[in-house]
Amino acid sequence: AQSVTQLDSQVPVFEEAPVELRCNYSSSVSVYLFWYVQYPNQGLQLLLKYLSGSTLVKGINGFEAEFNKSQTSFHLRKPSVHISDTAEYFCAVSPLSGGYQKVTFGTGTKLQVIP
Amino acid sequence: DGGITQSPKYLFRKEGQNVTLSCEQNLNHDAMYWYRQDPGQGLRLIYYSQIVNDFQKGDIAEGYSVSREKKESFPLTVTSAQKNPTAFYLCASSIAGTDTEAFFGQGTRLTVV
């Protein structure tokens, strides 16, 4: 069994400021890790994923995330946010085998960028 | 353009009525999924299908039914047995056996009054 905890349900940040959205996971096996973005009344779009290799993963829209195995974390960061980054962000985890139906999603973090 | 199309975007139904949500994909993906999204709860898997004419229950299948008669289509029926059907429903698809990526539709917001 696996679980995902997104520690902050809402994160307000001023435009052009840096942001970090936190994600911790729990799993008895090795996992893949994902971050998705959801704009209001839209589907989910993949921002980035960690499969193996370098623990620093770069994604779309200037986002990056760092996998920390010892702390079981996969925090999402952006050095300077824009108004257009206002959305909900979901962290997700999947075991290394078993198909996409095994993906577990976090409860989401709403990022509100303040002009 | 390839993608997943969900329709309608908004749906209103009276309590006690069955309603069917459409999901069509032209990505040639074998696997398709239905999720339910409620505020503060993330996504929960309702049903999934890895091949035509076969589907499996997810974590919250009670009160829902699906069919997979064609590779491109995976409709979801919300039955009157579903106790709290008002939610945002998302359909997704992926290459069968792939653990690492799925593509999502734009969602259907169902409101039962």
In this prediction, residue A36 carries a pLDDT of: 96
In this prediction, residue B1 carries a pLDDT of: 64
- Strand segments (E) across B16-84: 19-25, 31-37, 43-51, 54-57, 64-66, 76-78
Q: How far is CA B113 from CA A16, B16, B38, B64, in A?
A: 43, 9, 17, 18
- CA-CA-CA-CA torsion for B7, A45, A19, A55, nearest 10 degrees? 160
A43 contacts B104? CB cut-off 8 A:
yes
B101 falls in which pLDDT band (50, 70, 90)? Answer: confident
Chain A to chain B Cβ contacts (< 8 Å) = 70
In this prediction, residue A1 carries a pLDDT of: 80
Q: Examine the pLDDT at B41 and tell me if it is beyond 90.
A: no
- Shortest CA gap B54–chain A (Å): 14
In this prediction, residue B53 carries a pLDDT of: 95
Average pLDDT, chain A: 94
A9 contacts B43? CB cut-off 8 A:
no
The residues on A that touch B, with CB distances below 8 Å, are 4, 9, 32, 41-46, 49, 51, 90, 94-103, 105-108
pLDDT tens per residue across span A42-95: 999 999 999 888 899 999 999 999 999 999 999 999 999 999 999 999 999 998
- What residues in A contact B97, CB-CB < 8 Å? 99
In this prediction, residue A74 carries a pLDDT of: 97
- What residues in A contact B101, CB-CB < 8 Å? 46, 49, 100
